[in-house]
Chain A
Amino acid sequence: MTRFGMVMDVTKCNGCYNCFISCKDEYCGNEHKGYSAALPMTGQTFLTVVEKERGQYPKVKVDYVAHLCQQCDAMPCGNGHPDAVYMRDDGIVIIDPKKAAGLKDIVGRCPYRVITWNEEKEVAQKCTMCAHLLDDGWKEPRCVESCPTGALVFGDLDDPNSDISKLVKSAKTEQLANYKLGEKVCYVGLPKEFIAGAVVFGDKDECAKDVDVILESEGKTVAATKTDGFGDFEFEGLAAPTQYQVRVVAAGYDPKAVDVKLYKSVNLGDIVL
């Protein structure tokens, strides 16, 4: 059986918004009978790019996460509306544009908040993975076609040789949230929190290169790294809120420790030895 899914590799995305724009181009003012009513030219959208800025000047990171229908097998959007919301044999969840007319409660049933209300057509709407195009022989939805970096991967989850299956098998993928709804959209590299800083040899006013930096929590080592040529270090992908301690150890210098109550990504600035 074919079971369509999508993976977004956040680490590859350069934030060009081609996915957002081609989605608009496909659906704004364009009705696809049986699949989706026309979206208004502005405002409503099936795919939103959420920009996440982390850290503080000058240790900053920016990531982009495409939010779109997660194609849940559990179909919480369809609760109570078995006729209006259905799953196709290929796993794509469709809100029938005719049968779902007037059923505004569908919007609120999505825990991912990716269903929107079309005021003019009075219908709840969401991404269809461009099912009308797939049925017409297309290989991939518009957003994937226009992605220049390969950040969006679409394919058959049941085909062990498909790129998407290999990605999912790599065990690097994760869900946008922990709802366990049988989502068929998943992500690589969703931004977590980081702790970064720079180590300085105070006596020489020099960037401290190749210095050991250890991250501990509850007395246990969580991670260890070495500073680079700028004295910079970084611990990425951390859980928060968590109490951490950053320890810096360099031969010939007194060690230093910094306590960090990590709520959101933080630049500790210069740690002077």
Chain B
Amino acid sequence: MGEKTFVNCTGGGPIRVHVEGGKITKVRPLVFDENDAASWVIDVDGKKYTPPRKACVAPFTLTERARVYSEDRIMYPMKRVDFDPKGAPGSTGPGGRNAQNRGKSPYVRISWKEAFELVGNEMIRIRKDYGPEAITSRASSHHNWGNVGYRTGAWSRFFSLIGFTDILDNPDSWEGWHWGATHTYGFYWRLGNPEHYDMLEDSLRNTELIIHWGNDVDSTHGIYGGNESAQWRLWFRDKGVKQIFLDPYFNYTAAHVGSKWISYRPGTTSALAAAIAHVWLTEGTYDKEYVERKTLGFDEFKKYILGEEDGTPKTPQWGEEVTDVPARTIVALAREWASHRTTLAGGTKGGEGGYCRQAYATEHARMLVLLQAMQGLGKPGVGIWGTGNGPPYNHTLDFPGYASGGNFNLMAEKPIANPVAQRLYRITAPDAILNGKDAWMGQPFCGGSLEQQFIKWEYPLPGHSKVKMFYRYGGAFLSTMVDTNKWVRMYQSPELEFVVNQDCWFSTETRLADVILPACTNLERDDISEYASSGGYSLHASGSANHRIIIYQQKCVEPVGESKSDYDIFCGLAEKLGVLQEYTEGNTWDQWIEKMFYKSDLPKYIMFDEFKKKGYFVVPQLENYKPTPALRWWYEDRTCDTPDTSNPKRHTDKGTELGTYSGKIEFVSQSLLANTPDDTERAPLAKYIPSWEGHESEAFKKYPIALISPHPRFTFHTHHDHHVPWLSEIPGHRLDNDGYKYWVARVHPSDAEPRGIKQGDVIELYNDRASVLCVAQVTERVRPGVLHSYEGAASYDPIEPGKAGTTDRGGCVNMLTPSKMVSKNVPGMAPNSCLIEFRKWEA
């Protein structure tokens, strides 16, 4: 049988898929042909910069063949052997529901007919007995890709239609920027990340120094942008632009292009920032005119830094005591920074290092904005830019990002909104289920206004039922959330009368369900999307790729095993619940995709049939392109001229302002002053506050090692880990010990030797919360006293299955991380404020 090729897309880039005899034989990055639109060229002093004529995809993207045919694929619907839906809620023993055995008991195969009957009837029962709010559901981040057939499409539409207690996501990758930086420079409509337009060109022209603070963009890829920007940082290097890296770990980007590595004690970054400000204040090396013109409250900040407020000047010597960075290095860093046109690659979008997910992360993110304010943020070459987005960009072609077409509402005749007001919060959902109540302040992942951060939530809402059923979709929270043994406890609680898990692969949470439903991957069905485009609160996020590529995701092969597309699964359930017509509006799957096409600007450029056949469209560059660098308008007191249509002040009479209350950069935050004036942990003026789990805390005596667990290098969160054996052959990802592929923990020789640990030894990471086995990578790349691992292991392999808290061999280091939130009024997670001890594992 001849070979056919198809085009599809992933969370790490678009691919060409080769198929022979109904089987995928190879998965390649998408390579352009001569008919595709020309690439941009940036001319700087006669040197021409232009990207390769292909998609520079992420490593995990190239494993899609192995992932589709993974041994971890769920091949047919299953039911836990000792789950009997006839049993009363909380019943145990024969004929019971046996919630306590979730995670312990095996499964039996059932047919799809039985599965739809079982799940459908349970949903009908629970809705009848308790109301629609008794069902909760949540998707994971990006185990598949596609606007229509994935989580913001098929899943979201189904649950919004029937009504459910949604689980609010937290901005888990950049908490500090969302909850902190928004109160300093606005950009709440981007959840604290600044606009990024034309930063590549502006920085190539003007930037003399790049400071990567907690930024490992070669690992985090601008989120969905694969390796697109790796080349850019080489351009800077070859141009002679030095790149300094501040991180407790000598990260992959530092290893690639770094010219200097400064490593600080975890949890002390805002002290380092304060000490830098002290140097600038005492040496007068900051932009006084800018501070006067563009900021508010500088005098109070100055008093704090100089110690006039609390009696402690934040000198470099003070900074050394707190951060363990030598005072003279702090001075040198401050001088290099101030004497060059410096861009701060501060760990915004794409570079989510440890510090924005730690105790008081708000203070650090705010401090970074303030530091750049002192150097004239918005001036040519002086930006806050993670170096992972912002090439020349044609924004004029509108194509909805995955978060913009949600619920099919763009295309449906009758838009759907979830009628249930009750919410759970992702970080505390297990506590809410186990304790029957929850309360928090702040609507997370919400870019409508700063005030949303002060909304008070409670669970259950008055007049609402508690949650009785959890429908988990693409499960992986055990190694992405915090203190995750509590998720195991939650799953085993009889409070949850029924648990469904719908996924393509067995992942960390799958075997904690009563019924498992096999979904197919997006290589096994059609869809439509744009490379790296999320839409929503990340408008024009496809600027993390060199080219805008819109993809007709062509079905490459039939669904593996008995798996079905998510849409077909939800159609099956919608039929049981009597809402099939409302769900589909009589459309076929192809018609939904076609409708998305016609809702976009694509028809102005290409015919649907041609697009569908070719599989992709490269958006042409604008002729006579005029760059509008991010925040230049702000610096020059002009009205916002970037394409950031999500900026609510743009094209209004306040168009020259930032999104803060005053419209200026606020050293003293007016929104915090107005809403939480008495908060000392996120006070109106940003400060260094010693971590509640750091080197000055009580726990340090018992657990002297700081665990940092940033986003992983070779996978997307948990996705592709474990399911793909090839990745386990990369020594930076997993390492073999006696035939078992362990998750990697990186430790310095000075910490390994006293514990009798050698390279390749299995070690136990432990604290009062958990015990996790990893393999030791003994390396000079990690700061002494720090253990570096990654979040995102896809396997949960407890030594005693079904027992929460038992040692995990899978590598879910998140089990060790604290539940405690960033601060009292900041409900963000803080996994990088985590103290542990480790020892050689003697099994």
Contacts and interface: CB of A to CB of B under 8 A. Distances in A.
Interface of A: 12-18, 20-22, 24-26, 28, 30, 41-43, 45, 49, 51, 53, 55-62, 142, 145-146, 148-150, 200, 205-207, 209, 228-232
A43 B725 CA distance: 9
Contacts, number: 137
A205 B327 contact: yes
Contact of B66 (A13, A18, A41, A149): A41
Interface in B694-736: 714, 725-732
A13 B28 CA distance: 19
Contacts of B250: 58, 60, 62
A205 B316 CA distance: 11
B779 interface: yes
A195 to B, nearest CB: 15
Interface stretch (B170-178, B252-260, B306-314, B348-356): B252-260
A262 to B, nearest CB: 17
A149 B329 contact: no
Interface stretch (B224-232, B528-536, B579-587, B761-769): B224-232
Secondary structure of the B contact surface, majority rule: mixed
A28 to B, nearest CB: 8
23 contacts: A15-B218, A15-B732, A18-B29, A21-B726, A25-B63, A25-B66, A41-B725, A42-B725, A42-B728, A51-B732, A53-B781, A57-B780, A57-B784, A58-B262, A58-B263, A58-B783, A60-B780, A142-B26, A146-B29, A148-B226, A205-B327, A205-B328, A206-B328
Interface residues of B, number: 56
A273 to B, nearest CB: 13
A148 B227 contact: yes
B599 to A, nearest CB: 32
Contact of A149 (B62, B231, B262): B231
Interchain residue pairs A-B with the least CB separation, the first 5: A148-B227, A148-B56, A62-B255, A14-B256, A207-B332
B59 A60 contact: no
B396 to A, nearest CB: 27
Contacts of A12: 234
Nearest to A230: B332
A14 B62 CA distance: 16
B260 A230 contact: yes
A57 B748 contact: yes
B59 A16 contact: yes
Interface of B: 25-29, 31, 52, 54, 56-59, 62-63, 65-66, 218, 226-228, 230-231, 234, 250, 252-253, 255-256, 260-263, 327-329, 331-333, 335-336, 714, 725-732, 748, 779-784
Contacts of B731: 51
B328 A21 contact: no
Nearest to B221: A16
A254 B726 CA distance: 56
A10 to B, nearest CB: 11
A49 B261 CA distance: 24
A18 B725 contact: no
A28 B578 CA distance: 47
A30 B260 contact: no
B135 to A, nearest CB: 40
Contacts of B230: 14, 16, 148-149
A62 B781 contact: yes
Nearest to A64: B255
Contact of A30 (B25, B231, B732): B25
Nearest to A54: B780
Given A25-B63, A51-B731, A56 B780 contact: yes
Contacts of A232: 260
Contacts of A146: 28-29, 57, 62
Contacts of B66: 24-25, 28, 41
A209 to B, nearest CB: 8
A96 to B, nearest CB: 22
Nearest to A57: B780
A25 to B, nearest CB: 5
A16 B252 CA distance: 9
Q: Which of B328, B728, B748, B783 has the most A CB atoms < 10 Å from its CB?
A: B328
Contacts of A30: 25-26
Contacts of B332: 206-207, 209, 229-231
A164 B256 CA distance: 23
